[in-house]
A = this chain, B = another copy of it.
Amino acid sequence: MKNTFGNSLSVTLFGESHGEMIGAVLDGIAPGIAVDEAAIAHRLSLRRPAGKISTARQESDPFRIVSGVFCGKTTGTPLTILIPNENTNSKDYTATRSLARPGHADYTAFCKYHGSEDYRGGGHFSGRLTAPLVAVGAILQEALKEKGILIGTHISRCAQVSDRPFNDYFADIDYLNHRTFAALDEGAEQKMIQAIENAASEGDSVGGILETAVIGMPAGVGEPWFDSIESTLSHALFSIPAVKGVEFGSGFALADMTGSTANDPIAIENRNIVTKTNHNGGINGGITNGMPILFRTVIKPTPSIFKEQNTVNFIEKESATLSLGGRHDPAIVHRARAVQDAVTAIALADALVLRYGTDYLTKD
Protein backbone atom coordinates (compact mmCIF):
# COMPACT_ATOMS: atom_id res chain seq x y z
CA MET A 1 0.00 0.00 0.00
CA LYS A 2 2.24 2.73 -1.34
CA ASN A 3 4.23 4.37 1.45
CA THR A 4 3.29 1.80 4.07
CA PHE A 5 5.03 -1.57 4.31
CA GLY A 6 3.85 -4.49 6.40
CA ASN A 7 0.58 -5.89 7.66
CA SER A 8 0.65 -6.94 11.31
CA LEU A 9 3.57 -4.60 11.93
CA SER A 10 3.97 -1.71 9.52
CA VAL A 11 6.07 1.31 8.68
CA THR A 12 4.80 4.45 6.96
CA LEU A 13 7.43 6.73 5.43
CA PHE A 14 7.17 10.41 4.56
CA GLY A 15 9.20 13.45 3.64
CA GLU A 16 11.34 14.95 0.94
CA SER A 17 15.07 15.55 0.65
CA HIS A 18 14.78 19.31 0.97
CA GLY A 19 11.53 19.58 2.91
CA GLU A 20 11.29 20.57 6.54
CA MET A 21 11.70 17.05 7.87
CA ILE A 22 11.44 13.38 7.09
CA GLY A 23 10.07 10.65 9.26
CA ALA A 24 8.42 7.30 9.77
CA VAL A 25 5.56 5.83 11.77
CA LEU A 26 6.02 2.33 13.16
CA ASP A 27 2.73 0.63 14.02
CA GLY A 28 2.00 -2.77 15.51
CA ILE A 29 5.05 -2.88 17.75
CA ALA A 30 4.64 -4.69 21.05
CA PRO A 31 4.30 -2.56 24.17
CA GLY A 32 7.12 -2.56 26.72
CA ILE A 33 10.16 -2.65 24.42
CA ALA A 34 13.01 -0.57 25.78
CA VAL A 35 13.95 2.13 23.27
CA ASP A 36 17.67 2.80 23.32
CA GLU A 37 18.30 6.13 21.67
CA ALA A 38 22.03 5.45 21.57
CA ALA A 39 21.40 2.29 19.55
CA ILE A 40 19.32 4.29 17.10
CA ALA A 41 22.03 6.94 16.87
CA HIS A 42 24.63 4.24 16.27
CA ARG A 43 22.64 2.73 13.41
CA LEU A 44 22.10 6.17 11.90
CA SER A 45 25.83 6.78 12.09
CA LEU A 46 26.43 3.66 10.00
CA ARG A 47 24.21 5.10 7.28
CA ARG A 48 25.71 8.56 7.46
CA PRO A 49 28.20 9.72 4.82
CA ALA A 50 31.80 9.77 5.95
CA GLY A 51 35.15 10.66 4.44
CA LYS A 52 36.09 10.95 0.80
CA ILE A 53 33.95 7.97 -0.15
CA SER A 54 30.64 9.76 0.50
CA THR A 55 28.82 12.97 -0.26
CA ALA A 56 30.00 16.13 1.43
CA ARG A 57 26.44 16.75 2.65
CA GLN A 58 26.72 16.21 6.37
CA GLU A 59 23.68 15.56 8.52
CA SER A 60 23.86 14.83 12.21
CA ASP A 61 20.43 13.17 12.03
CA PRO A 62 19.15 14.58 15.33
CA PHE A 63 16.05 12.37 15.42
CA ARG A 64 13.14 12.90 17.77
CA ILE A 65 10.66 10.26 18.83
CA VAL A 66 7.41 12.18 19.21
CA SER A 67 4.89 9.41 19.87
CA GLY A 68 4.64 5.82 20.98
CA VAL A 69 7.34 5.88 23.66
CA PHE A 70 6.58 6.59 27.30
CA CYS A 71 9.00 6.23 30.21
CA GLY A 72 11.61 4.87 27.80
CA LYS A 73 9.51 2.01 26.51
CA THR A 74 7.20 1.45 23.58
CA THR A 75 3.55 1.99 24.41
CA GLY A 76 2.24 -0.32 21.69
CA THR A 77 0.67 2.60 19.84
CA PRO A 78 2.26 4.21 16.76
CA LEU A 79 5.86 5.22 17.27
CA THR A 80 6.83 8.26 15.22
CA ILE A 81 10.38 9.34 14.48
CA LEU A 82 11.10 12.73 12.96
CA ILE A 83 14.42 13.85 11.50
CA PRO A 84 14.71 17.51 10.51
CA ASN A 85 16.50 18.28 7.29
CA GLU A 86 19.56 20.42 7.82
CA ASN A 87 22.19 21.59 5.47
CA THR A 88 19.84 21.72 2.52
CA ASN A 89 21.17 23.70 -0.36
CA SER A 90 18.23 23.95 -2.68
CA LYS A 91 19.73 26.35 -5.14
CA ASP A 92 21.91 23.50 -6.38
CA TYR A 93 18.90 21.93 -8.02
CA THR A 94 16.61 24.57 -9.47
CA ALA A 95 18.68 25.25 -12.55
CA THR A 96 18.37 21.66 -13.69
CA ARG A 97 14.70 21.19 -12.76
CA SER A 98 13.60 19.95 -16.16
CA LEU A 99 16.77 18.07 -17.09
CA ALA A 100 16.33 14.38 -16.35
CA ARG A 101 19.38 13.05 -14.52
CA PRO A 102 20.16 9.68 -16.15
CA GLY A 103 19.54 6.77 -13.75
CA HIS A 104 17.38 8.95 -11.49
CA ALA A 105 13.61 9.25 -11.13
CA ASP A 106 13.25 12.81 -12.38
CA TYR A 107 11.44 11.91 -15.56
CA THR A 108 9.34 9.11 -14.07
CA ALA A 109 8.30 11.39 -11.19
CA PHE A 110 7.26 13.98 -13.75
CA CYS A 111 5.17 11.37 -15.59
CA LYS A 112 3.50 10.29 -12.37
CA TYR A 113 3.02 13.62 -10.62
CA HIS A 114 2.56 15.87 -13.65
CA GLY A 115 5.10 18.45 -12.48
CA SER A 116 3.79 18.90 -8.93
CA GLU A 117 6.59 16.78 -7.48
CA ASP A 118 9.18 18.32 -5.18
CA TYR A 119 12.15 18.02 -7.52
CA ARG A 120 14.78 19.32 -5.11
CA GLY A 121 17.42 16.68 -4.44
CA GLY A 122 15.19 13.87 -5.61
CA GLY A 123 12.35 14.95 -3.35
CA HIS A 124 10.46 11.97 -1.95
CA PHE A 125 12.67 9.61 -3.98
CA SER A 126 15.82 10.66 -2.18
CA GLY A 127 17.99 8.14 -0.38
CA ARG A 128 17.73 10.61 2.48
CA LEU A 129 14.41 8.95 3.37
CA THR A 130 16.24 5.82 4.36
CA ALA A 131 17.37 7.58 7.56
CA PRO A 132 14.00 7.16 9.34
CA LEU A 133 13.85 3.60 7.99
CA VAL A 134 17.18 2.92 9.67
CA ALA A 135 15.92 4.50 12.88
CA VAL A 136 12.79 2.32 13.15
CA GLY A 137 14.82 -0.67 12.01
CA ALA A 138 17.23 -0.03 14.88
CA ILE A 139 14.44 -0.34 17.44
CA LEU A 140 13.31 -3.61 15.88
CA GLN A 141 16.85 -4.96 15.61
CA GLU A 142 17.35 -4.40 19.33
CA ALA A 143 14.06 -6.13 20.10
CA LEU A 144 14.84 -9.05 17.79
CA LYS A 145 18.23 -9.43 19.43
CA GLU A 146 16.42 -10.00 22.74
CA LYS A 147 14.68 -12.93 21.02
CA GLY A 148 18.02 -14.26 19.76
CA ILE A 149 17.52 -13.08 16.19
CA LEU A 150 20.61 -11.33 14.82
CA ILE A 151 21.04 -9.51 11.51
CA GLY A 152 24.26 -8.54 9.79
CA THR A 153 25.19 -7.28 6.33
CA HIS A 154 28.57 -7.04 4.64
CA ILE A 155 29.77 -5.62 1.37
CA SER A 156 30.26 -8.83 -0.54
CA ARG A 157 31.60 -7.01 -3.58
CA CYS A 158 32.37 -3.44 -4.52
CA ALA A 159 34.10 -2.04 -7.58
CA GLN A 160 35.19 -5.55 -8.62
CA VAL A 161 36.74 -6.28 -5.21
CA SER A 162 35.26 -9.24 -3.31
CA ASP A 163 34.98 -9.69 0.44
CA ARG A 164 35.26 -13.13 2.01
CA PRO A 165 31.93 -14.90 2.63
CA PHE A 166 30.33 -15.30 6.06
CA ASN A 167 32.25 -17.82 8.08
CA ASP A 168 31.24 -17.82 11.75
CA TYR A 169 27.85 -16.14 11.54
CA PHE A 170 27.67 -15.11 15.18
CA ALA A 171 31.12 -13.56 15.29
CA ASP A 172 30.88 -12.03 11.83
CA ILE A 173 27.55 -10.36 12.54
CA ASP A 174 28.89 -8.97 15.78
CA TYR A 175 31.99 -7.68 14.00
CA LEU A 176 30.00 -6.02 11.23
CA ASN A 177 27.70 -4.21 13.59
CA HIS A 178 30.69 -2.39 15.03
CA ARG A 179 32.31 -1.40 11.74
CA THR A 180 31.69 1.76 9.79
CA PHE A 181 32.70 0.10 6.54
CA ALA A 182 31.18 -3.36 6.56
CA ALA A 183 33.74 -5.67 5.00
CA LEU A 184 34.72 -8.88 6.77
CA ASP A 185 38.21 -8.94 5.29
CA GLU A 186 40.40 -5.96 6.13
CA GLY A 187 42.42 -6.27 2.96
CA ALA A 188 39.26 -6.22 0.87
CA GLU A 189 38.07 -3.23 2.85
CA GLN A 190 41.16 -1.20 2.00
CA LYS A 191 40.92 -2.10 -1.68
CA MET A 192 37.25 -1.22 -1.84
CA ILE A 193 37.78 2.15 -0.18
CA GLN A 194 40.64 2.87 -2.57
CA ALA A 195 38.50 1.91 -5.55
CA ILE A 196 35.69 4.20 -4.38
CA GLU A 197 38.15 7.06 -3.95
CA ASN A 198 39.50 6.41 -7.41
CA ALA A 199 36.00 6.55 -8.87
CA ALA A 200 35.36 9.78 -6.97
CA SER A 201 38.50 11.35 -8.32
CA GLU A 202 37.33 10.54 -11.84
CA GLY A 203 33.89 12.05 -11.19
CA ASP A 204 32.43 8.60 -11.56
CA SER A 205 30.77 6.10 -9.21
CA VAL A 206 30.76 2.37 -8.41
CA GLY A 207 28.24 -0.25 -7.24
CA GLY A 208 28.39 -3.46 -5.33
CA ILE A 209 26.71 -6.40 -3.71
CA LEU A 210 25.43 -6.57 -0.13
CA GLU A 211 25.08 -9.93 1.58
CA THR A 212 22.91 -10.31 4.67
CA ALA A 213 22.72 -13.14 7.18
CA VAL A 214 19.99 -13.57 9.78
CA ILE A 215 20.46 -16.16 12.51
CA GLY A 216 18.06 -17.30 15.20
CA MET A 217 14.83 -17.16 13.19
CA PRO A 218 12.45 -19.90 14.34
CA ALA A 219 11.44 -22.48 11.75
CA GLY A 220 7.90 -22.27 10.39
CA VAL A 221 7.56 -18.55 9.62
CA GLY A 222 6.32 -17.33 6.22
CA GLU A 223 3.64 -18.34 3.77
CA PRO A 224 3.62 -20.69 0.78
CA TRP A 225 1.74 -18.29 -1.51
CA PHE A 226 2.15 -15.02 -1.92
CA ASP A 227 3.77 -13.96 1.30
CA SER A 228 6.77 -16.25 1.20
CA ILE A 229 9.68 -14.89 3.21
CA GLU A 230 11.42 -14.35 -0.13
CA SER A 231 8.43 -12.37 -1.39
CA THR A 232 8.06 -10.09 1.60
CA LEU A 233 11.80 -9.58 2.09
CA SER A 234 12.34 -8.77 -1.59
CA HIS A 235 9.37 -6.40 -1.52
CA ALA A 236 11.11 -4.52 1.27
CA LEU A 237 14.60 -4.78 -0.23
CA PHE A 238 13.59 -3.45 -3.65
CA SER A 239 12.31 -0.37 -1.84
CA ILE A 240 15.92 0.56 -1.10
CA PRO A 241 16.97 3.02 -3.78
CA ALA A 242 19.55 1.52 -6.18
CA VAL A 243 18.74 -2.13 -5.45
CA LYS A 244 18.19 -3.86 -8.81
CA GLY A 245 18.45 -7.53 -7.83
CA VAL A 246 17.81 -9.86 -4.90
CA GLU A 247 18.89 -13.49 -4.58
CA PHE A 248 18.51 -16.00 -1.77
CA GLY A 249 20.95 -18.77 -0.84
CA SER A 250 23.04 -19.63 -3.87
CA GLY A 251 20.77 -17.45 -5.98
CA PHE A 252 21.61 -17.11 -9.67
CA ALA A 253 24.38 -19.69 -9.32
CA LEU A 254 21.61 -22.29 -8.91
CA ALA A 255 20.92 -21.96 -12.64
CA ASP A 256 24.01 -24.00 -13.44
CA MET A 257 23.70 -26.59 -10.69
CA THR A 258 22.00 -29.95 -10.72
CA GLY A 259 19.40 -31.03 -8.19
CA SER A 260 21.83 -33.45 -6.60
CA THR A 261 24.22 -30.59 -5.75
CA ALA A 262 21.65 -27.85 -5.09
CA ASN A 263 19.48 -29.87 -2.70
CA ASP A 264 20.62 -29.27 0.86
CA PRO A 265 21.01 -32.65 2.63
CA ILE A 266 19.13 -32.72 5.91
CA ALA A 267 20.65 -34.04 9.12
CA ILE A 268 20.33 -34.02 12.87
CA GLU A 269 22.95 -32.15 14.87
CA ASN A 270 22.70 -31.64 18.62
CA ARG A 271 19.09 -32.82 18.42
CA ASN A 272 18.28 -30.09 15.91
CA ILE A 273 17.21 -30.62 12.33
CA VAL A 274 19.69 -28.81 10.10
CA THR A 275 20.82 -28.78 6.49
CA LYS A 276 24.43 -29.61 5.69
CA THR A 277 24.63 -26.94 2.98
CA ASN A 278 22.47 -23.81 2.63
CA HIS A 279 21.86 -23.32 -1.07
CA ASN A 280 18.24 -22.45 -0.23
CA GLY A 281 19.22 -19.62 2.12
CA GLY A 282 17.25 -20.88 5.10
CA ILE A 283 13.90 -20.89 3.28
CA ASN A 284 11.96 -23.81 1.79
CA GLY A 285 8.59 -23.31 0.20
CA GLY A 286 8.64 -19.70 1.36
CA ILE A 287 8.97 -20.71 5.03
CA THR A 288 11.95 -20.51 7.35
CA ASN A 289 13.67 -23.81 8.11
CA GLY A 290 15.72 -22.64 11.08
CA MET A 291 19.00 -22.29 9.16
CA PRO A 292 20.57 -18.86 8.62
CA ILE A 293 18.58 -16.74 6.18
CA LEU A 294 21.07 -15.64 3.56
CA PHE A 295 20.52 -13.22 0.69
CA ARG A 296 22.29 -10.72 -1.51
CA THR A 297 21.24 -7.51 -3.20
CA VAL A 298 22.97 -5.66 -6.00
CA ILE A 299 23.40 -1.91 -5.52
CA LYS A 300 23.79 -0.10 -8.81
CA PRO A 301 26.52 2.54 -9.14
CA THR A 302 25.29 5.87 -7.75
CA PRO A 303 23.63 7.61 -10.70
CA SER A 304 24.87 11.05 -9.63
CA ILE A 305 28.23 11.48 -11.36
CA PHE A 306 30.18 14.54 -12.37
CA LYS A 307 30.88 13.49 -15.93
CA GLU A 308 28.86 15.15 -18.65
CA GLN A 309 25.88 13.07 -19.72
CA ASN A 310 23.41 13.09 -22.57
CA THR A 311 19.83 13.62 -21.54
CA VAL A 312 16.69 15.61 -22.35
CA ASN A 313 14.77 18.55 -21.06
CA PHE A 314 11.51 16.69 -20.45
CA ILE A 315 9.36 19.79 -20.25
CA GLU A 316 10.67 21.35 -23.45
CA LYS A 317 11.12 17.90 -24.99
CA GLU A 318 14.53 18.63 -26.41
CA SER A 319 17.98 17.07 -26.17
CA ALA A 320 20.42 18.41 -23.63
CA THR A 321 23.66 17.69 -21.86
CA LEU A 322 23.98 17.68 -18.12
CA SER A 323 26.97 18.24 -15.86
CA LEU A 324 26.05 17.80 -12.23
CA GLY A 325 27.45 20.05 -9.55
CA GLY A 326 26.59 19.74 -5.91
CA ARG A 327 27.52 16.98 -3.46
CA HIS A 328 27.28 13.33 -4.40
CA ASP A 329 28.26 9.86 -3.23
CA PRO A 330 30.79 8.03 -5.40
CA ALA A 331 29.32 4.86 -3.88
CA ILE A 332 26.42 4.13 -1.56
CA VAL A 333 26.94 0.43 -1.02
CA HIS A 334 28.70 1.03 2.30
CA ARG A 335 25.85 3.25 3.51
CA ALA A 336 23.07 1.09 2.11
CA ARG A 337 24.01 -1.84 4.32
CA ALA A 338 22.49 -0.07 7.34
CA VAL A 339 19.29 0.30 5.34
CA GLN A 340 19.38 -3.35 4.33
CA ASP A 341 19.65 -4.40 7.98
CA ALA A 342 16.72 -2.14 8.81
CA VAL A 343 14.27 -3.32 6.15
CA THR A 344 15.24 -6.91 6.92
CA ALA A 345 14.28 -6.33 10.54
CA ILE A 346 10.99 -4.74 9.50
CA ALA A 347 9.98 -7.51 7.11
CA LEU A 348 10.89 -10.32 9.50
CA ALA A 349 9.26 -8.64 12.51
CA ASP A 350 6.04 -8.35 10.49
CA ALA A 351 6.13 -12.07 9.67
CA LEU A 352 6.84 -12.97 13.30
CA VAL A 353 4.02 -10.81 14.66
CA LEU A 354 1.56 -12.31 12.17
CA ARG A 355 2.66 -15.77 13.25
CA TYR A 356 2.92 -15.33 17.01
CA GLY A 357 0.76 -12.30 17.84
CA THR A 358 1.31 -8.67 18.76
CA ASP A 359 3.12 -9.37 22.02
CA TYR A 360 5.72 -11.67 20.42
CA LEU A 361 8.68 -9.32 20.76
CA THR A 362 8.23 -8.98 24.53
CA LYS A 363 6.96 -12.46 25.35
CA ASP A 364 9.23 -14.81 27.26
Contacts and interface: CB of A to CB of B under 8 A. Distances in A.
A117 B76 contact: yes
A27 B2 contact: yes
A111 B74 CA distance: 15
A283 to B, nearest CB: 8
A207 B256 contact: yes
B77 A224 contact: yes
A100 B258 contact: no
A2 to B, nearest CB: 5
A95 interface: no
Indicate how many identical chains form the complex: 4
Nearest to A250: B244
Nearest to A117: B75
A259 B304 contact: yes
A292 interface: no
Contacts of A260: 204-205, 305, 307, 309
Contact of A252 (B104, B298, B301, B319): B298
Interface string A59-82: 000001011101001111111101
Contacts of A232: 235
Interface string A36-72: 0000000000000000000000000000101110100
Contacts of A224: 3, 77, 105, 109, 124-125
A1, A205, A221, A303, most chain B CB atoms within 10 A: A1
Contacts of A193: none
A245 B251 contact: yes
Interface in A130-188: 157-160
A123 B4 CA distance: 24
A31 B259 contact: no
A118 B77 contact: yes
Contacts of A107: 219, 266, 273, 284, 289
A341 interface: no
Interface in A316-362: 317-319, 354-360
A263 interface: yes
A76 B112 contact: yes
A231 interface: yes
Nearest to A110: B220
A298 B113 contact: no
7 contacts: A16-B70, A76-B113, A207-B262, A208-B255, A262-B300, A271-B317, A276-B310
Given A7-B7, A259-B302, 8 more contacts: A4-B10, A8-B8, A14-B78, A102-B264, A204-B258, A207-B262, A268-B318, A273-B317
